[in-house]
Amino acid sequence: GGGGWEYPFLLVILISGSLLSHLCLYYFFQRAESACHSVKGQVSADGTIYNYKAKTLNGSRSVSLSEYMGKTVLFVNYLGKTLNALHEEMKDYGFTILGFPSNQFGKQEPGENHEILATLKHVRPGNGFVPNFLLFQRGDVNGDTEQGVYTFLKNSCPPVGDSFENPTNRLFWEPLKINDIKWNFEKFLVGPDGKPVMRWFPRVPVSEVREDILKYIRQLFSHVCGAKPEF
């Protein structure tokens, strides 16, 4: 899926490996359509993630997502230890993770913004867990009050299933739509042009998500630099 890797007037810098073994510069002058290819079908949505902003977890800064132009970005609404390892493994290849906590699924994120880091460290997942990627303030990812960037992500990808597979009394938003995020752990991958390229069902293990992302980055790196990253 995706049709190509060209992006409009975008300078992409990719660094290969922790030793910075080589630096590739590549200019893209044409635009190609981007479509999610981890689920069947294609959906088009205008714009990119760069049209949106989000406030950091501590409220100190409003971040324009255009800061991530040229990067491969994984959007998650639930945080776990395996994500730290994923981020550490691929951060040198223009990859990052953005966390958007949500309390819409079984009320599993009830804390206020100032309590979330302590909850992650001591309760869930606990054992001293501290995310090594940026977290934004808790917000809705479905329903009438969903964040704009999540509206865009969902409109850019087909739904991952035709049912929610959880009792509706554990889903805290209205109205329920087929393209909604079904539960915690659903993820979106956004390419260097700011458009989503993959979407995963919540129960897809991180190990499989990792393999999909590695394949994507290898293809991107090979096309841009004529070489594959060393992982």
Domains by residue range for the chain, with CATH = 10-225 (3.40.30.10)
Average pLDDT over every residue of 212-218: 95
Residue 126: pLDDT band with limits 50, 70, 90:
confident
Mapping DSSP onto H, E and C, the string for the chain reads CCCCCCCCCEEEEEECCCCCCCEEEEEECCCCCCCCCCCCCCCCCCCCHHHCEEEECCCCCEEEHHHHCCCEEEEECCCCHHHHHHHHHHHHHCEEEEECCCCCECCCCCCCHHHHHHHHHHCCCCCCCCCCCEEECCCECCCCCECHHHHHHHHHCCCCCCCCCCCHHHECCCCCCCCCCCCCCCEEEECCCCCEEEEECCCCCHHHHHHHHHHHHHHHHHHHHCCCCCC
79 — pLDDT class (breaks 50, 70, 90):
confident
Q: Is the pLDDT of residue 53 over 80?
A: yes
Q: What percent of the chain has pLDDT over 90?
A: 61
Confidence check: pLDDT of 17 > 70:
no
Lowest mean pLDDT among 5-14, 77-86, 130-139, 159-168: 5-14
Query: Per mean pLDDT, which range of 36-40, 95-99, 107-111 is the poorest?
Result: 36-40
The predicted structure's pLDDT at residue 119: 84
Indicate the range of 7-11, 161-165, 227-231 predicted with least confidence. 7-11
pLDDT at 141: 98
Query: What is the pLDDT at residue 36?
Result: 62
- Reported as a single tens digit per residue, the pLDDT across 114-125 is 998 888 888 878
> Does pLDDT of 138 surpass 90?
yes
